[in-house]
A and B are shown apart, each in its own frame.
Chain A
């Protein structure tokens, strides 16, 4: 089963920047794969992640998420897709400081119209899964960098999404902590869950079963489906 597919995707940002970030990118990712997308700065990695996460639309080509062409979907349908199918992990964590760790994780289910009680119960399970159950009541500022990223990962997977997209998840962490985080992210994959990690760290790439290399907006290497 195909989790994600890009067909001839190009992305050019409008003036004043007029940067061409991606040129004719095509690949498909099957459900359950773990993929590292690598490349130097400015190679289009983040743009690719935004397109796969439906946070941006391509200028050319089509992006298919769960067999659906996202280019024809209105904003509300894309929002539904993100709420139910996609989990994000960011380099800057993006945790809400005025909420506890538990409530930050529960926010991952906010736009599914679940009751607060069910959201918190699911959040507690997700925190348990990333080994942070003891930190539920803390504020993000009371956590170490690795713990913050674990919280963000728990928030990404609390709704058991089909696709987890991580954008430089170890970029703000030291090497040892980064390695633990990558192990955690790689371990999220199962036959139903696809994991894509954007990184310029070679050790991260080796922890994934597949690597897609980008340069100047083009795919220059793909180790192919495992």
Chain B
């Protein structure tokens, strides 16, 4: 232990036989964590600032990704759905689809499923005859085929869809919004609506159909009943079809000519999944803004850490002087304060990643989405926290290192 026994080194600017002042890496790490444990409340509060900011950033990315994940899954499932609607001529007259359109489309090889609806015009739906005819509630009446739920992947929320009975008797299935408008939340054997001058039994309510929102606002009756009781012209107003996923574009191209060879320009072909694409874009539109706000919060957290570290340097002049007297080089003092700042920020970062993931899980649970935090997000969160800790630590560390030892001891 006696320094005389230490091998002499021949550094030019080193006193004879005196080894260097050295701090082990492990000891430097311990020093960095020591001060945090010594001032728990203050450390916890400054780490909390970083935790809130990192938590917000992780939550923004996580919630956006979770919301998008469901839409993207839906997009994958709905990507092969096409709709064909009656259009208008150049002069603006409505052109119904030919009655043969449905069969012609069914004959196109990549087409897997087809279902058609026809608009029953001039007919309103009301809760009872006592409701004035003017209160239509914006509900349209459509004639639909039994294949509709399957083709649209629509689910029946209550009751059942139009079955064999509905082909002969006045039964109706309501779209989700239509049922809400009519105030029908429970179905009994006596639930009826006043439709086209007579009462129809409500046998089912559909869940919302994202890819065909027009169904949500409709009351659906069977084609035979619409023709016999409501005077429907059986020409379809809209045809839904599903094609082989890799042939969707090709099918979309030939559809106008197949459906209406005489007036192909009067046929409107749509890919409803485009609505989902737009919704994905809408969900992610504000992510940039929220991330920027989170970055501002992170900056504020970093300033908080820098502030607390500067105060710490002032308060601990005695310790700095002591360490210099014990042989610490100015860089050892700098490293100690720098690591303290880094440790504060990283503790905050770990906490923030936890908080953000929790917030994402809660939001996904409330929104009925799957939890999807991209793998890079926790690492980016920790990295951002560490970067802030490094930036916040530089100035206090330099200040501590520049303190003259004798002065530090004197003013303590």
Q: Which of A54-97 contact B (CB under 8 A)?
A: 55-56, 65-68, 70, 72-77, 79-85, 88, 90, 92, 94, 96-97
User: In whole angstroms, how far apart are the Cα atoms of A159 and B19 in the complex?
Assistant: 13
B324 in contact with A160 (CB, 8 Å): no
B326 in contact with A82 (CB, 8 Å): yes
A77 in contact with B14 (CB, 8 Å): yes
Is A138 in contact with chain B by the CB < 8 A criterion?
Answer: no
B15 in contact with A81 (CB, 8 Å): yes
A83 in contact with B404 (CB, 8 Å): no
B1 in contact with A80 (CB, 8 Å): no
Smallest distance from the beta carbon of B189 to chain A beta carbons, Å? 77
B13 in contact with A73 (CB, 8 Å): yes
User: In whole angstroms, how far apart are the Cα atoms of A60 and B322 in the complex?
Assistant: 26
Smallest distance from the beta carbon of B133 to chain A beta carbons, Å? 83
Q: Which of B327-347 contact A (CB under 8 A)?
A: 327-330, 332
Q: Which of B17, B23, B26, B322 has the most CB of A within 10 A?
A: B322
Is B20 in contact with chain A by the CB < 8 A criterion?
Answer: yes
Residues of B within 8 A of A146 (CB): none
Is A108 in contact with chain B by the CB < 8 A criterion?
Answer: yes
Q: Which of B1-34 contact A (CB under 8 A)?
A: 1-4, 6, 11, 13-24, 26-27, 34
Residues of A within 8 A of B14 (CB): 73, 77, 80
Is A116 in contact with chain B by the CB < 8 A criterion?
Answer: yes
Smallest distance from the beta carbon of A27 to chain B beta carbons, Å? 20
User: In whole angstroms, how far apart are the Cα atoms of A82 and B406 in the complex?
Assistant: 13
User: In whole angstroms, how far apart are the Cα atoms of A122 and B20 in the complex?
Assistant: 20
Given A83-B21, A98-B37: A111 and B15 within 8 A (CB)?
Answer: no
Smallest distance from the beta carbon of A68 to chain B beta carbons, Å? 4
Is A107 in contact with chain B by the CB < 8 A criterion?
Answer: yes
Is A53 in contact with chain B by the CB < 8 A criterion?
Answer: yes
B327 in contact with A160 (CB, 8 Å): no
Residue of B nearest to A90 (CB): B409
Is A50 in contact with chain B by the CB < 8 A criterion?
Answer: yes
Choose from A92, A107, A113, A161 the contact partner of B412 (Cβ within 8 Å).
A92
**Chain A residues bordering chain B, tally (CB within 8 A):** 46
Smallest distance from the beta carbon of A179 to chain B beta carbons, Å? 25
Is B356 in contact with chain A by the CB < 8 A criterion?
Answer: no
Smallest distance from the beta carbon of A56 to chain B beta carbons, Å? 4
Given A81-B15, A162-B3: A112 and B327 within 8 A (CB)?
Answer: yes
Smallest distance from the beta carbon of B255 to chain A beta carbons, Å? 77
Residues of A within 8 A of B77 (CB): none
Residues of B within 8 A of A19 (CB): none
A108 in contact with B6 (CB, 8 Å): no
Residues of B within 8 A of A155 (CB): 326
B19 in contact with A112 (CB, 8 Å): yes
Interface string of A92-123 (1 = CB under 8 A from B): 10101111000000011011110110000010
A75 in contact with B330 (CB, 8 Å): yes
Residues of A within 8 A of B22 (CB): 111-113
Smallest distance from the beta carbon of A4 to chain B beta carbons, Å? 13
A111 in contact with B328 (CB, 8 Å): yes
Is B318 in contact with chain A by the CB < 8 A criterion?
Answer: yes
Residue of A nearest to B37 (CB): A98
Residue of B nearest to A158 (CB): B1
Residues of A within 8 A of B412 (CB): 92, 94
Q: Which of B4, B20, B35, B404 has the most CB of A within 10 A?
A: B20
User: In whole angstroms, how far apart are the Cα atoms of A79 and B22 in the complex?
Assistant: 9
Choose from B2, B15, B329, B406 the contact partner of A75 (Cβ within 8 Å).
B329
B15 in contact with A83 (CB, 8 Å): no
User: In whole angstroms, how far apart are the Cα atoms of A72 and B14 in the complex?
Assistant: 10
B318 in contact with A92 (CB, 8 Å): yes
Choose from A46, A68, A70, A113 the contact partner of B23 (Cβ within 8 Å).
A113
A80 in contact with B321 (CB, 8 Å): no
User: In whole angstroms, how far apart are the Cα atoms of A80 and B16 in the complex?
Assistant: 11
Is B311 in contact with chain A by the CB < 8 A criterion?
Answer: no
Choose from B20, B34, B409 the contact partner of A55 (Cβ within 8 Å).
B409
Smallest distance from the beta carbon of A212 to chain B beta carbons, Å? 20
Smallest distance from the beta carbon of A47 to chain B beta carbons, Å? 8
Given A111-B21, A159-B1: A73 and B327 within 8 A (CB)?
Answer: no
Residues of A within 8 A of B4 (CB): 192
Is B319 in contact with chain A by the CB < 8 A criterion?
Answer: yes
Residue of A nearest to B330 (CB): A75
Smallest distance from the beta carbon of B26 to chain A beta carbons, Å? 8
User: In whole angstroms, how far apart are the Cα atoms of A58 and B409 in the complex?
Assistant: 17
Residues of A within 8 A of B409 (CB): 55, 90, 94
20 contacts between A and B (CB under 8 A): A50-B406, A55-B324, A68-B16, A77-B18, A79-B328, A82-B325, A84-B18, A94-B318, A94-B319, A94-B409, A96-B319, A98-B34, A98-B37, A110-B27, A111-B22, A112-B19, A122-B1, A160-B1, A160-B2, A192-B4
